[in-house]
Amino acid sequence: MRKIKTIFAVLMVFTMVLCLTACAGTNSNGTANKQENEAQNTSEEIADTAVSNTDPANESASAEGSSDCSNVLVAYFSATGTTKGVAEKIAAITGGDLYEIVPAEPYSDADLNWNDRNSRSTKEQNDKNVRPGIGSADISLEGYTTVYLGFPIWWGEEPRIMDTFAEKYSFDGITVIPFCTSSSSGIGRSGSNMEALAGSGTWLDGKRFGGSVSEADLRSWIEGLK
């Protein structure tokens, strides 16, 4: 009887050892699985971060920043918006950049009254030494090979603010193409006036356009310049 109890006790001890070993194995596997899952989750988070840092919006912004390689500039002064409309059409046809020559002191309707001998514009046009200030930010002409220069015709010539622009910048290595808008007056000697003031660049003969000129007519003119 005692021998049977001894054998039973040994079996109980052996069974307990097996259970403890199994539990230890289970805890070890559980810990390993947990660590593996945590590592996988961390990798996925890093991958998600990488994807968010290269999303289409960022790629698009980068592409736009690197695709601006135009060598054509369309610079213009427009007191009433007529010249602006023509300049925008030229920029669309040529793929050029637009730059508006904004007066530091805007012109009011009274300033533009050509029937008033005392209006600001009349006084400016009667004095070739007047140089109205430019309020728009300075622009670098580096990299441009062609500049279309637009303006309205005032009293048969370019507005004096265009003289300010011509004297301010160097046009070395640049072909300058004047264009103007008016209801009837031609471009006259405006181009040669600015060419003399600039003292640099290759200046072509300019052309007058009405405010309603079509893109087809502008394209024909531009292609004829080549």
Backbone torsions φ then ψ of 118, nearest 5 degrees? -100, 5
Q: Which of 86, 114, 41 is nearest to 221 (CA)?
A: 86
Q: What is the pLDDT of residue 199?
A: 97
pTM for the full predicted model: 0.70
Residue 10 has pLDDT above 70, yes or no: no
- Could you tell me where the beta strands, DSSP code E, fall in the chain? 72-76, 97-100, 146-152, 175-181, 202-203, 207-209
Fold entry, domain 71-224? Rossmann fold (3.40.50)
Residue 153 has pLDDT above 90, yes or no: yes
Q: Which of 171, 146, 137 is nearest to 91 (CA)?
A: 146
Least confident range of 48-57, 96-105, 182-191: 48-57
Residue 75 has pLDDT above 60, yes or no: yes
Indicate the pLDDT class of residue 57, thresholds 50, 70 and 90.
very low
Which has the higher per-residue pLDDT, 56 or 212? 212
Burial class (CB in 10 A: 0-12, 13-18, 19+), 174: buried
Contact 179, 209 (CB under 8 A): yes
Please give the Cα distance from 79 to 87 (Å, whole number): 13
Q: What is the pLDDT of residue 68?
A: 53
Q: Look over the chain and give the mean of its residue pLDDT values, rounded to a whole number.
A: 79
Residue 218 has pLDDT above 90, yes or no: yes
Q: Across residues 185-214, what is the average pLDDT?
A: 96
